[in-house]
Amino acid sequence: MSPAISNAYAHMDSKGTLTIENKNITDVENALQIGYTIEEMAVRAEGFLRGVGLIKTFAPIVYFVAHGSSSANNPHHGAHDCGACSGRPGATNARVQSFILNHKKVREILATKGIVIPDTTQFVGAMHDTAADVMGYYDEEILSAENAKLHLLNKQNFETALNLNAKERSRRFASINTKQELEQVRKAIHSRSVSLFEPRPELGHGTNTLAIIGRRQTSKKLFLDRRAFLNSYDYTTDPTGDILTAVMRPIGLVCGGINLEYYFSRVDNIKMGAGTKLPHNVMGLFGVANSSDGDLRPGLPWQMIEVHDPVRLLVIVEHQPEMVLKAIQSSPEVFEWYKNEWVHIVALHPTEQQFYYFKNGVFEKYNPITEAAEIKTIHNMEQFIEGAKEMETNHIVHATEENLPVYLLD
């Protein structure tokens, strides 16, 4: 990759070693402990696994797939990286949690707490480049001979999925013919992501609208057009709702924050957004301005928000409404997002299969008025993507017509 590129994979060397385990707690630098002790690792491992509901039935390989974004000539590249990693690529986190969960002593502690990870299961760090649709893997050499074989097969499947993903994304890029062969589309996506001339290496969080907190089966059969934050959470492992409280803590701040940054940059791109990228000058490596005499331009540039529907986030939580209420009321900062309706929240009662919408401090029943027949089914994804409508201009009415309605998946 050219040195003109802001390369997400350059943030950490895949061949380098990390000081993850702390064997001496006096090992400190600038008041920071270098690495985690075994106990500290076990606490984080348990918290993470319970949070996503992955406490049994482990596959032979569990991948932690971080994400980052490589692009050229793009001062806003940090806005394309991982928000939960303070706007940086998350590969190091994927590698660290994989190391922790592969650690024999951590597994022994986890086993005492009822989480038994088979010896044959191995965790592998990886990172998805969301602009180039490339996947990089870390510490593959730790895999057992058997898992190494499985990993090779899995990688092929990841590659096929990346091809399809590139095709799906390409429908929004005027420079790419979506109907080309999959490999050609993928190549075009990659070239485009690192082109000096391309102001839209990817579209970032544009169109984000939903946050679904629940089991995968809640969203698996739906085509949501890349509009949903998806947080795994299994209510069956959390009858008291304590895990949900921890899960909900960052949702308003992270997902709501992203959503409202896009909302306001979209509705007022002059005062709350950064305007078009094309005349931007990078100021001191910390901001952008139009010309050297202009004001700094906070917010997002036009090229990142033009396809965005300015709507608030709808958070959908799979649990009983009283549990959801308890979780969002856990702190005033968390509750403010919902109480003041800067984001909407709906509880999906898992046994009743009934929605409850939070309004004026209470969850009330909500029954969708959409008829079942109105929701169509996608039978062939590639054909569907090729046939999807393209915008005539980037005027709001045209641009957001590209945002597809919900579909069922065959």
Partner 1 sequence: MNNISFDEKHAIHELKHFLPAQQALKDFIHHNSLHAFQHMKFYDGIFKASKIFGFQVHLQLPEYRAMYQTGRIREDVLQMVIANKKGKENSNDWKQKLLTKEYDTINLPRIRQLRKYWKDVYHIDLDNKVHPLLFRILCAFLDQGIAINSFPVVNKPFLESIKEMEQNSFVSFFKTKVVRQQFLSGNYSISSLLKTIVGKEEYYEQYLFDQQFSHHGWSGFVSAVEDNPQTLLDRKQITLKELIEFELLLELDTLNNVLGKKWQPLTNNVTISPIAIFADVEKTELAQVIELWQDAFEWSYYDSVLKGILIANTKNEESNEISTQFLSTVGDKTFQAIFCIDEREDSIRRHIEAVDKNAETLGAPGFFGVEFYFLQQGSKFYDKLCPAPVTPKYLIKEYDAKAEKKGELIYTKLTHGILSGFLLSISFGFWAFAKKYNYYLTQK
Quote the CA–CA distance of 102 and 64 in Å, as a whole number.
12
Tell me whether residue 64 or residue 325 sits nearer to partner 1 (CB atom).
64
Q: How far apart are the first and last CA of the chain?
A: 39
- Buried/exposed 355-367: b ≥16 CB within 10 Å, e otherwise: bbbbeeeebeeee
Quote the CA–CA distance of 271 and 357 in Å, as a whole number.
33
> What is the nearest approach in angstroms of partner 1 to the Cβ of residue 352?
11
> What is the nearest approach in angstroms of partner 1 to the Cβ of residue 265?
7
> What is the nearest approach in angstroms of partner 1 to the Cβ of residue 371?
8
> What is the nearest approach in angstroms of partner 1 to the Cβ of residue 113?
15
> What is the nearest approach in angstroms of partner 1 to the Cβ of residue 224?
6
| φ, ψ at 252 (rounded to 5°) | -65, -50
Tell me whether residue 229 or residue 323 sits nearer to partner 1 (CB atom).
229
Tell me whether residue 116 or residue 230 sits nearer to partner 1 (CB atom).
230
> What is the nearest approach in angstroms of partner 1 to the Cβ of residue 232?
4
Quote the CA–CA distance of 229 and 23 in Å, as a whole number.
37
Contact 363, 338 (CB under 8 A): no
Quote the CA–CA distance of 330 and 339 in Å, as a whole number.
12
> What is the nearest approach in angstroms of partner 1 to the Cβ of residue 231?
5
Tell me whether residue 240 or residue 397 sits nearer to partner 1 (CB atom).
397
Count of C-beta atoms within a 10 Å radius of residue 164? 17
Nearest-CA neighbor of 297 among 68, 6, 75? 75
Count of C-beta atoms within a 10 Å radius of residue 332? 8
Residue 368 in tokens: 């969708």
One-letter amino acid for residue 185 of the chain: V
DSSP states along 94-163: HHHHHHHHH-HHHHHHHHHTT----TT-EEEEEEEETTTTEEEE--GGGS-HHHHHHHHHHHHHHHHHHH
- Buried/exposed 267-294: b ≥16 CB within 10 Å, e otherwise: eebeebbbbebeebeeeeeeebbbeeee
> What is the nearest approach in angstroms of partner 1 to the Cβ of residue 108?
19
Contact 127, 136 (CB under 8 A): yes
> What is the nearest approach in angstroms of partner 1 to the Cβ of residue 8?
12
> What is the nearest approach in angstroms of partner 1 to the Cβ of residue 34?
5
Tell me whether residue 67 or residue 323 sits nearer to partner 1 (CB atom).
67
How far are the Cα atoms of 4, 108, 351, 358, 371 from residue 316, in angstroms, in the given order? 41, 35, 15, 11, 20
